[in-house]
Amino acid sequence: MSSQSTPGGAPVKRLMAPDITAKKGVQPIVSLTSYHAHTAAIADKYCDFLLVGDSLGMVMHGFETTVPVTLDLMIMHGKAVVRGAKRSLVVVDMPFGSYEESPSVAFRNAARVMKETDCGAVKLEGGRHMAETISYLVKRGIPVMAHIGLTPQSINVLGGFKAQGREEEQWAAIEEDARAVSDAGAFSVVLEAMAEPLAERITKAIPIPTIGIGASAACDGQILVMEDMLGLSPRVPKFVKEFGDIGTAIERAIAGYAEEVLERTFPQVEHTYAMKQGVEATAKKVASKSGSGGRAGKPASRRK
């Protein structure tokens, strides 16, 4: 992982996967998704980790699900976030099809993600059936964040974005998933769209932090899609609280810009570049000679 420093040159210690694990029971974990350098730089001041989520496919690229997202796309955005963040752990999602085939395929792709982005961990979806892969990666030096409950990459099997654990007969299987990924060596686990009593039960039962997204304040930490909580998304899930209304502010700014362009009130003098002094004097002399000869041409049109 590349070294980071403040503008004054003092080194900044970036958080690592064990630092996140150590926060369980000590301090709530704050996290958000981020897909570009400038939002990463802002969120970096407040977040313990930033997730380059495959949700970028829907948020940034207009896909209907996360399934079309490619490894190259994740790496491109991962590089940007690592450049923008200085202290937060950066976790990059493994996209659909990049890790399910076998542990060795998962390692090859996860190693590529870490080498090319310089991130500190990867995240993959799945419980018991992914335990072997998680163990394989961790033993070979790749920290893994697990993800259970609602797993968006399995949307075509689940039949929609449906909350999990709302019926007690579902609990045993989901709890088994949580224990399996923890025992396999995951340093934390995302619980998505999960009934509060089950999320609380899992949080108390496993030694690694639970990161909730629609799984209640009972979890050890929280994550939201940044664009959702900023009011940039047209539709958001029930569990999202909009902490800002940036979408309206952006539209207001663009409308103001368009109006001034149409009225020719932008750009004004303070937004333009004056001639350099020597060049300006020469230009005036040429204009003066041209005018005295009576061949100045048509006068410039004036706004009325």
Tokens matching residue 282: 């020469």
Residue tagged 């932008």 (tokens): 266
Q: Which residue in 40, 130, 160 sits closest to 92, CA to CA? A: 40
Contact 104, 143 (CB under 8 A): no
What phi and psi, each to the nearest 5 degrees, are found at residue 82? -65, -35
Say whether 192 is catalytic: yes
How many Å from the N-terminal Cα to the C-terminal Cα in the chain? 61
Q: Which entry of 132, 175, 176, 192 is annotated as an active-site residue?
A: 192
Q: What is the DSSP string of 72-117?
A: HHHHHHHHHHHHH-SSSEEEEEPPTTSSSS-HHHHHHHHHHHHHHH
Residue 23 contacts residue 29 (beta carbons within 8 Å): yes
In SS3 terms, 232-292 reads as CCCCCCCCCCCCCCHHHHHHHHHHHHHHHHHCCCCCCHHHCCCCCHHHHHHHHHHHHHHHH
Question: Which among 85, 243, 215, 62 is positioned nearest to 148, based on CA atoms?
Answer: 215
Four-residue CA torsion sign, 238, 207, 126, 129: negative
Distance of alpha carbon 4 from alpha carbon 111, whole angstroms:
22
Helix axes 131-139 and 171-184, enclosed angle (nearest 10): 20
Write out the catalytic residue numbers: 192
